[in-house]
Structure 1
Amino acid sequence: MALLYWLIMFLSQLFMAGGSEAFESLPVWQRVLIPIVACFVLAVIFTLLPAKLRSVGVPYVVERLNYHQGILPVLNAVVQFFTVAISLIGGLSIGKEGPAVHLGATFGSYLAQHGRLPQYGVETLVACGVAGAIAAAFQTPVAGVLFAFEVIFIEYRMGMALPVLLSSVVGMLVSEYLLGRIEVFDIDHLSTAQFTPDFFIACLALVGFIVTLAFLFLKVQKVLWRVGKVSVWWRFSLVGGVTSVVAIYLPETLGGGYDSLIALLSGQTLVSSLLAVIIVKTLLTSVSIGLGIPGGMIGPTFVIGGLAGAQAAFMFDSLLPYNHEMALFILLGMAAMMAACFQAPLTALIAMIEMTHTSEVIVPAMLVIVLSCLIMRLLLRQESAFVQRLKYVGLSSSMSPFKRYLQHHTVMSVAEPVVVLPAHESIERLKDLGSSVVDYVAFEVSGQWMLARREAVLSALQSIHLGPSPFLVVDGEQVLMDLSKALDCTPSMAIPEPTSLEKMLSWFQASGRADVLIEVRRTEKMCLVSRRQLDQFLLKDN
């Protein structure tokens, strides 16, 4: 996140003074040209890239978790990093927080793969990366944890809480050290909400406004998804053209849009109509994301919601003390818009508390968040933006409980230990098997693994006393047993340890075999897994 911030700031300062979002300070011809150039560069990049490297963003992270065991290719994250930087430098109306989630999840997946962790470990480190990215972006560690659970996993996983929280805290500390305190939402004076009838009416009006904007935000994207197979040149040209036209009249809507919120929180007034900025920002972001610009939605929804809260405070200026209620309504709008678009109520609520370092916002925020989420889900039948995107392409945002159960258990849950022997073993060593509790032995003959029961080895030893045995081999002063001749063995296969029981079940279904030897990577020993043991494990009452 720090590198992304620095890259955007450094390149923006080459042609723009006053920060990375001060597009209104540029001459009109520059404001018009910059989005066109950015979209042209993006179109060239996406044309040259293989199709598999073009998938980026939060929906891609969820897809890889549910359908590819959480394996996130590093090259896709590299594409995400540079394309979102180009988009934001070019003034396109997107956010950098969603791409940061992709980057964080990729780091977690990379570490898990190189650590050869089981599936549950992969998911835990992906969640750590997501939480760390959100915490670094907003410097809100608890909200980062909740975002990982509510938005990415769409369920709370208490077993992951401690490592994910630790990652989130570290992400925030690194962000503070490298970037300093993020002052976008720094509010010195926040009034205590008095639940008078006028204040309640203002909150209801804000909920209605937020729900309308959220529904418009999602609906426009769903309409534009239908043209997703159109050439990237046509789609990105349309985004560049629309953004350039908007840049002429409403430059405040370019980029992330945080500068507009900063102006309102500091008591300034916008040059353009606030209502026009809100509607155009909503449409412009929807068009950009819907047509495939590789950016995020999290930051823009915060901005749109904050501006909507300011508009509600203006509308009820005669009923509310403006100087004290403006900041409160901006925060309420931000929380409600995020909750409505992503169905993440707790994330939105905790984010507001952590950003303001005060609990004054809790009760009114709970009111607007709950009402906004309920209306979106129950009346308008709208789910999270990421869930709807996955459903549109025929994918599920969550996996079945049975599949999750299999993924969260390792092969060791159904494995039996195996004693590995050489094909020719000494009589003295074989006698030690009498005191062993292991039921199976395995040995390799001409590249083929053979499996036998321990009792069969002990029976062969007993037969030595009955007379000459054809399976005995003299090697110097030692008498060895040729296990391939002495035992009635079953040919078997040996495979590397799968990351989860789901992988093991898939292997059995594909191979049709009844059992297999597993090479345990941590101990370099072997164990036996049979389809019968796996079925018994799945049918256990507990």
Structure 2
Amino acid sequence: MFVRIRHLADRKGSNRLMVRLRALLRSNEFYLIPLALVIGTLAGAIVTLMAEIAQIAHMVIYGIPVDVRLSANARVSPWAALIAPALGGLALGIMEWSRRRMKISSAVDPIEANALRGGNLSMRDSLVVSSQTLISNGCGASVGLEAGYTQIGSGIASLLGKFFNLRRNDLRLMVGCGAAAAIAAAFGAPITGAFYACELIVGVYSVGSAAPILAASLAGALTAQWLGGAPYSLEIPKVSAVGVEQYLALIGLALITSGVGIAVMRSSPMFERLFAWLPVWLRPVMGGLVVGGFAIVTPQVLAAGHGAMVLDLFHDMTIGLIALIIALKVTACLISLASGFRGGLFFASLFVGSLIGKFFSAVLLLISPNFVIDPLVAMLTGMATLGVAIVGGPLTMSFLVLEMTRNVDVTAVVLAGCIVTSICVRFMFGHSFSTWRLHLRGETIRSANDVGWLRNLTVERLMRSDVGKVPSTTTIAAVRREFVLGSRPGVVIVNNADEYIGLVLLPDLFSSDLDTIADDIQVIELARLIDIVLIPEMNVKSAMAVFDEAEAEMLAVVDSTDSRKVVGFLTENFARRRYVEEIDKATRGVLGALS
């Protein structure tokens, strides 16, 4: 008995402690920093573990040396190249077939979670996506692990955030911290990780979010370094200074990579259609066989391409060989993703971009031997600009180059190229690869900016259901007797089937011009907005567009597009006020006012 009482007392004490801790975290963004450090440390450790598992899988499957990356090998066993991706694809195909059979919804990635769900990520889904990414990369498919890194880092952050009952803005911030730590740990680049989170996951540069994101990013990078080093770290030798005359040529390179990036994203749905006719379980098997065939030609198409990129930075290559590797790697990436393998294009875009830069400098040298661009500078510019074109984040890619080279001159020209690429892709295409894939699924988001509140703020939530209705044959005088002026903005006119046929505003109804004929004129004669209505599923932004187009103060709400049954009404004044309130709430964190 006493033991039970003591147990209950201890439980109450721990509950009180948890309540106080949650209240502390919600009171000020300063207290989010320790939580961000914990998230960063966990993300850094998991990134290191995943990278080690993938490397061990490459060693066991392909028989490569311990200290050599898969894509850096001169050749691999043809049998291993064909069988490993096919078997890995079979495992993924069975998993996808099972998911569809059990009608489990698709996993949500960090960008979608922050844009539409207030940072709410499923830990189960994050574990599944990370394991599928590990299988894909481990068997040699042409994808990187960075998608799995950010997914699991953000998943842990969301789990902890929900455990501490954080507010929507704070939960989104924690998801950004998880992604920042994962990228920082992967590349050994904490500033890059921080800007990755701000540009691609959180969606804004915020004073209030800077400290937690930087703390998580540093913790992730230091943890990975302590555990053995960043899996995607690149050692760049001293780079020569960039002359002013070379800027124009490198800006031209940025425009070329913009076109390549857009072409890659446009090609994605076409490659998916190539596999659409196959059973879902068979698609990654066939994709794995094709990628394996490419690997027999050159192993540089396998996995993310980190080893190949390090190798190609310092080796002379013919123009034909560079072009061949670019074509095979891009095709292998698109086939891998289209057929059902899981992974990211972050590092693959860096690798292909560096080869485009090398190709560009070699062609310029061939055209005019007097006009020489340092191939390393061209590779870094191509790497960053194609990364911007496909992944997004001009500052992310620029700081990645800065942290690799520690050269401000080179970073300046890379930043200029990244800005040109970002503007060009945004103007001509409008999406990064992540948001383009969401667009193909029917979503309309173009960044991680929080628009989930907009979808939740529907007409159904805003409307009033105590709508005043009168039959069309009712006289104006009768309507005046039933509805007192000022009692409501207007009344809805319905037919014998109780369907909407128009509305009339009460000020119009009580116009002095109608006093003498009010007993003789039916209310239908005053009907307005006969064909303009709202439906409950509309969000507030769509509703505001209807109000603006109709120049209306009030609109009726009918139950569906196929029905005219009136379920309520909404006034422009109230809708506009709630819209402005939600915009203010969503953007209040930009200046640090998170409360």
Q: Please, what TM-score do these two structures have when normalized by structure 2? A: 0.63
Q: Which amino acid aligns with 1:254?
A: L
1:122 aligns with 2:122: no
| 2:234 corresponding residue in structure 1 | 185
Equivalent positions of 1:52-451 (< 5 A) are 55-56=106-107, 60-180=109-229, 184-196=233-245, 199-200=246-247, 202-225=249-272, 231-267=279-315, 269=317, 273-317=321-365, 325-378=374-427, 380-397=428-445, 403=453
Q: Which amino acid aligns with 1:367?
A: A
- SS of 1:317's partner is helix
Q: CA deviation at 1:189?
A: 1.7
- SS of 2:70's partner is coil
- SS of 1:361's partner is helix
Q: Distance in 2 between matches of 1:242 and 1:157?
A: 45
- SS of 1:273's partner is helix
Q: Distance in 2 between matches of 1:310 and 1:246?
A: 21
**Residues 384 and 418, structure 2, Cα contact 8 Å, conserved in 1:** yes
Q: CA deviation at 1:108?
A: 0.4
Change (3 A) 1:108 1:536: closer
Q: Which amino acid aligns with 1:249?
A: V
1:10 aligns with 2:56: yes
Q: CA deviation at 1:48?
A: 3.0
Q: CA deviation at 1:130?
A: 0.8
Change (3 A) 1:94 1:66: same
Equivalent positions of 1:26-65 (< 5 A) are 26-49=76-99, 55-56=106-107, 60-65=109-114
Q: Distance in 2 between matches of 1:135 and 1:539?
A: 33
**Residues 313 and 320, structure 1, Cα contact 8 Å, conserved in 2:** no
- Listed one character per residue, the Cα deviations across residues 506-530 of structure 1 (whole Å, up to 9, x for unaligned) are xxxxxx9xxxxxxxxxxxxxxxxxx
Q: Distance in 2 between matches of 1:539 and 1:260?
A: 48
**Residues 185 and 230, structure 2, Cα contact 8 Å, conserved in 1:** no
**Residues 136 and 171, structure 1, Cα contact 8 Å, conserved in 2:** yes
Q: Distance in 2 between matches of 1:43 and 1:78?
A: 17
Change (3 A) 1:300 1:74: same
Q: Distance in 2 between matches of 1:168 and 1:229?
A: 43
- SS of 1:41's partner is helix
**Residues 93 and 285, structure 1, Cα contact 8 Å, conserved in 2:** yes
Q: CA deviation at 1:290?
A: 2.9
| 1:25 corresponding residue in structure 2 | 75
Q: CA deviation at 1:204?
A: 4.2
Change (3 A) 1:136 1:54: farther
Change (3 A) 1:270 1:14: farther
Q: CA deviation at 1:254?
A: 1.3
Change (3 A) 1:158 1:246: same
- Listed one character per residue, the Cα deviations across residues 13-63 of structure 1 (whole Å, up to 9, x for unaligned) are 22422334145432222222221122112212323346676734xx62222
Q: Which amino acid aligns with 2:303?
A: G
Q: CA deviation at 1:111?
A: 0.4
Q: Which amino acid aligns with 1:129?
A: G
- SS of 2:409's partner is coil
**Residues 364 and 372, structure 2, Cα contact 8 Å, conserved in 1:** no
The worse-fitting range, judged by mean Cα deviation, of 279-288 and 309-318 is: 309-318
Q: Distance in 1 between matches of 2:583 and 2:215?
A: 35
Change (3 A) 1:174 1:230: same
Q: Distance in 1 between matches of 2:207 and 2:278?
A: 43
- SS of 1:387's partner is helix
**Residues 108 and 125, structure 1, Cα contact 8 Å, conserved in 2:** yes
Q: Please, what TM-score do these two structures have when normalized by structure 1? A: 0.69
- SS of 1:13's partner is helix
**Residues 85 and 139, structure 2, Cα contact 8 Å, conserved in 1:** yes
Q: CA deviation at 1:186?
A: 0.7
Q: Distance in 2 between matches of 1:260 and 1:539?
A: 48
Q: Distance in 1 between matches of 2:231 and 2:409?
A: 21
Q: What is the aligned length?
A: 413
Q: CA deviation at 1:331?
A: 0.9
**Residues 53 and 76, structure 1, Cα contact 8 Å, conserved in 2:** no
| 1:446 corresponding residue in structure 2 | none
- Listed one character per residue, the Cα deviations across residues 302-335 of structure 1 (whole Å, up to 9, x for unaligned) are 1111111111122223557999812211111111
| 2:22 corresponding residue in structure 1 | none
**Residues 35 and 90, structure 1, Cα contact 8 Å, conserved in 2:** yes
Q: Distance in 1 between matches of 2:146 and 2:584?
A: 44
**Residues 263 and 269, structure 1, Cα contact 8 Å, conserved in 2:** no
Change (3 A) 1:36 1:60: same
User: Over aligned residue pairs, what C-alpha RMSD do you find?
Assistant: 3.3
- Listed one character per residue, the Cα deviations across residues 133-184 of structure 1 (whole Å, up to 9, x for unaligned) are 1101111112212111211233323321110110001001011111225574
**Residues 210 and 336, structure 1, Cα contact 8 Å, conserved in 2:** yes
Q: CA deviation at 1:74?
A: 1.4
Change (3 A) 1:535 1:65: closer
Q: CA deviation at 1:367?
A: 2.6
| 1:501 corresponding residue in structure 2 | none
Q: Distance in 2 between matches of 1:541 and 1:267?
A: 54
**Residues 180 and 213, structure 2, Cα contact 8 Å, conserved in 1:** yes
> In percent, how many aligned pairs have the same letter?
21
Q: Distance in 2 between matches of 1:202 and 1:338?
A: 19
Q: Which has the higher contact order (CA 8 A, sep 6+)?
A: 2
Q: CA deviation at 1:69?
A: 3.1
Q: Which amino acid aligns with 1:9?
A: Q
Change (3 A) 1:540 1:256: closer
Change (3 A) 1:189 1:106: same
Q: Which amino acid aligns with 2:281?
A: W
Q: Which amino acid aligns with 1:263?
A: L
